[in-house]
Amino acid sequence: MSCQAALSPLVRSPGWCFVLSPHAIAAISRFYLPHHTQSLRNESIRCWSNIPFITMPLSRAHGKSFAHRSELKHAKRIVVKLGSAVVTRGDECGLALGRLASIVEQVSVLQNQGREMMIVTSGAVAFGKQRLRHEILLSQSVRQALHSGQSQLKDMAIPVLEARACAAAGQSGLMALYEAMFTQYSICAAQILVTNLDFHDEQKRRNLNGTLHELLRMNIVPIINTNDAVVPPPEPNSDLQGVNVISVKDNDSLAARLAVEMKTDLLIVLSDVEGLFNSPPGSDDAKLIDIFYPGDQQSVTFGTKSRVGMGGMEAKVKAALWALQGGTSVVIANGTHPKISGHVITDIVEGKKVGTFFSEVKPAGPTVEQQGEMSRAGGRTLAALQPEQRAEIIYRLADLLTDQREEILLANKKDLEEAENKGRLALPLLKRLSLSTSKLNSLAIGLRQIAASSQDSVGRIIRRTRIAKDLELEQVTVPIGVLLVIFESRPDCLPQVSALAIASGNGLLLKGGKEAAYSNQILHHLTQEALSIHGVKDAVQLVNTREEVEDLCRLDKLIDLIIPRGSSQLVRNIQKAAKGIPVMGHSEGICHVYVDTDASVEKVTRIIRDSKCEYPAACNALETLLIHRDLLRTPLFDQIIDMLRVEQVKIHAGPKFASYLTFSPSEVKSLRTEYGDLECCIEVVDGVHEAVEHIHKYGSSHTDVIITENEKTAEFFLQHVDSACVFWNASTRFSDGYRFGLGAEVGISTSRIHARGPVGIEGLLTTKWLLRGDNHVVSDFSDQGSMKYLHESLPLPHRNTS
């Protein structure tokens, strides 16, 4: 129910807005609140937009600002300040209606979540300028038509419009627009105009405070603006020096003063820049500051003020710091960018990395941006080392895994105990989290394989061409750059991926799950200890800050490749969140085993058991078993079913398989299911051609197997199945970097470009071209030139494979 309806005796038109005094509100409350206010607060929340709601308790004691972005979702009372550049059009004459509608939608969503929203808005001057220009043009055209004739119409000039007059003409229209927009979401808005005197006069200040609190109590969104029609011009003063002293001379200072007076949790300042930069935006070295701390002003150079409005970025920063000192968290962000303005406010409240966040709490370690820069610099130094030096680092890491076994297992025990006590991990994930002596020994062996095979990876010449006399071209392997590897419940992934990054000369950012925090911490410490023997400790960084994965995926200036290691949901989320950064991996591991009519009885049950039961949580485990139709009701089929029952594998019947049975197992909900547990689907096919078609339709291009003694059938399957790994008479579980002899893998890629299948060192390399000439220019190779292209292939240097 809207306030418009609740106040129907006073306000009839949905386009009206109203200015209420505390006395008027008190009178309205006595008559209407007993019947309406509680229903306004408690009615079920409805979603009118595509912006998702956040469900959470919204209460906190005001006094200290939030220390981290992730805490912003707990903000109960929020002020949104809309700068002139956000509200007005580019021609500064009229309002940006699309942006304004989007902002109203976001504020409405947050209001209907139970938050208390307030808006400090600009725009009255621009709206009034548009109206006055129209009136002046109309009146001039009429007068000139009457007195001067049509010939002088083209000579009409618009006089300079005084800002106070524009504000007086535009204020009512601006509020009518807000009221009409908020009415679409069943929300009522109220207008409040203030001046500096309203804060310095104690009685007016108390009245203002009481009015705002009463409006918020009635679920009304206050729209506040400086009364530009009467406000005196700003005077230089020495304010912003303490919590009790700030002059309202623009909407930035008004928003800050209001935020502290009303004890708000969050102040969002929207402008026409992304946030605060370390130098003027647009300059070559300008970098967006993610978190700004009091005392950092000396490191910032402020540019010119916005194209419209009273204040520039310096005024915003001073106001923000003043509000922060008063206990209100502040974010300055861009409210004009077409790609983000539609969700900028809700993104900030959800804790996403948008704009500049003001915090009084400095993190103990480097920021993730600093870690990315350290990793890139360290990776370049690593790539410049001799191959023997990189191998020496990996050998040292392998030794540390066995030498420090006790400390590693003790840290892993802490993770397991916490996970079991909290009950937040399913059994398959607990198995992935667990480390053992045998796992550590296997890890050490794999790392030594990587070290041995890495001698000729970086800088290897893969093509040589003589372009012309004394002009030779080489294509050589080089590292990709900085890798971001995100992994869940897999602490053994950390040393594996680190070794591959070291061998390939890449910088590495690691983001592990918090369920493996203790294990990851000690394994990263050992990795850096190994890197230190050649002074490249910074090349591998573990992200321990509260960065959300989605925020990491936006760091396209720092990260060159993202490799997710975890559930299919994690991979899908990262692929969706990555902005301009390639993602290597697979979202699902729907692996098939096809049992042909010519399959060996001895091989079938062994291969199926190993593929499904050896490690059912692995991405290369069997999920769908395809059986040739002629094998139904044969002893071989009975042996398969008996083996699966003994291993306690739950069977789901495919549609065709179910049609052959009187009493079938539960029919599968989807043939595209990755169970990740002791479950699988059985489906019937008419032959190898239908098996291939089924795999192409329902598979994930990961790993698929045929069991047959017919070589012709097997070769058809191997050549026609379009997956990263296709096997004949071998378990799906062989799809693994260690088992392929790669030492380890960063993951299994089902992508069709760059790397495919288990990705080892080779998949972490790209190439560059080196051209060596002697005063060569292209004009020499023209029709009248003195040189001719040769394009001769040259022999490659001998490759070290020892």
Provide the number of structural domains found in the chain. 3
Q: For residue 584, how many C-alpha atoms fall within 13 Å in the half-sphere facing its CB?
A: 25
Among candidate residues 213, 214, 219, the one with its CA nearest the CA of residue 188: 219
- pLDDT band per the 50, 70, 90 thresholds, residue 42: very low
Residue 66 · residue 73 · CB < 8 Å: no
> Can you list the alpha helix ranges (DSSP code H) found in 474-621?
493-504, 517-531, 549-552, 568-577, 601-613
Selected residue with higher pLDDT from 726 and 424:
726
The predicted structure's pLDDT at residue 155: 52
H helices of 385-485, in order, are 387-403, 405-422, 427-433, 437-453
Same domain as 211, residue 149: yes
Instruction: Tell me, yes or no, whether 427 and 549 share the same domain.
Output: yes
Last residue of a domain, one of 577, 600, 618: 577
Do 143 and 175 fall within a single domain? yes
Kindly indicate the confidence band of residue 282, based on its pLDDT and cuts at 50, 70 and 90.
confident
Q: Is residue 150 part of a domain?
A: yes
pLDDT, average across residues 67-92 = 87
Residue 206 sits in the same domain as residue 350:
yes
Domain boundary among the residues 516, 542, 577 is at 577
Q: Tell me, what's the pLDDT at 44? A: 37
Helix 387-403, helix 517-531: angle, nearest 10: 140
SS3 265: coil
Domain boundary among 292, 324, 358: 358
The whole-angstrom separation of Cα 792 and Cα 172 is 78
Looking at the structure, do residues 273 and 418 belong to the same domain, yes or no? no
Do 336 and 429 lie in one domain? The reply is no
Above 70 in pLDDT, residue 143? Answer: no
Q: Are residues 627 and 563 in the same domain?
A: no
pLDDT band at 52 (very low <50, low <70, confident <90, very high): very low
Domain with 598, as residue range(s), is 592-745
Over residues 700-723, the pLDDT tens digits come to 999 999 999 999 999 999 999 999
pTM over 0.85: no
